[in-house]
Amino acid sequence: SQQGEEDPQALSIQEGENATMNCSYKTSINNLQWYRQNSGRGLVHLILIRSNEREKHSGRLRVTLDTSKKSSSLLITASRAADTASYFCATDEGSNFGNEKLTFGTGTRLTIIP
Amino acid sequence: NAGVMQNPRHLVRRRGQEARLRCSPMKGHSHVYWYRQLPEEGLKFMVYLQKENIIDESGMPKERFSAEFPKEGPSILRIQQVVRGDSAAYFCASSPGMDARALRGPQHFGDGTRLSIL
């Protein structure tokens, strides 16, 4: 499997429900980031969690990081139709300076059903 | 406060032609990154540049691809003699880079150039 691999590949839930996406990686990291990509657009940064952090919150987003399992999860609570997008995790694997070479997973396509 | 600007948004080329993709980083950002995204896949790192310097081009094919970030003007990703396999979305990102802490922050992405090869 590739560095920064997400699961599930696709997720459909009803509006108002919570959505959980997972990401696994292989090598040691300094930080892990989650990005959102709407169809035909660029990536929007959501949240960054450093390797010495275990959990981080930002609005309706909650990210956890387990460096012993080399995995992270993104939880979106009280989902909205506007949350429909693809979500990618990215690590700094291979970077020499901390963040210059992001390695992305294949993403989770989230669909919120109104 | 403009974000990362990429142009063109869509580019169509015939096999053998050259493609030039432009990226203007966010104001105040001196570090530029190029990524390629194939359909239904994540982004793949290509090259990292600072003004007038290529820092890391380990993700860029050795032939036909080149990148620059001149002292003045946008960063350019150039693909010579394009082939069908070059069809993809090419994204540029930028970040400030005045200190080590800034390098650990997020990269800011443009909306990409979708390159189609006929």
Q: What is the pLDDT of residues B75-88, one digit of tens each?
A: 999 999 999 999 99
CB contact under 8 A, A106 and B40: yes
pLDDT band at A7 (very low <50, low <70, confident <90, very high): confident
Which chain B residue's Cα is nearest to A41? Answer: B111
How far is it, in rounded angstroms, from Cα A71 to Cα A64?
A: 8
Which chain B residue's Cα is nearest to A87? Answer: B42
pLDDT for A93 equals 75
pLDDT for A101 equals 82
Query: Per-residue pLDDT averaged across A41-69, rounded?
Result: 94
Using CB atoms, pick whichever of A42, A50, A101 lies closest to residue B45: A101
Query: Per-residue pLDDT averaged across B19-46, rounded?
Result: 92
pLDDT band at A75 (very low <50, low <70, confident <90, very high): very high
Where would I find the beta strands (DSSP E) of B1-118?
5-7, 10-13, 19-24, 31-37, 43-50, 53-56, 65-68, 75-79, 88-95, 108-109, 113-117
CB contact under 8 A, A43 and B105: no
% of chain B with per-residue pLDDT over 90: 72
pLDDT at A95 > cutoff 70: no
Query: Per-residue pLDDT averaged across A14-26, rounded?
Result: 95
A39 interfaces chain B, CB cutoff of 8 Å = no
Size of interface A-B (CB pairs under 8 A): 71
pLDDT at B113 > cutoff 80: yes
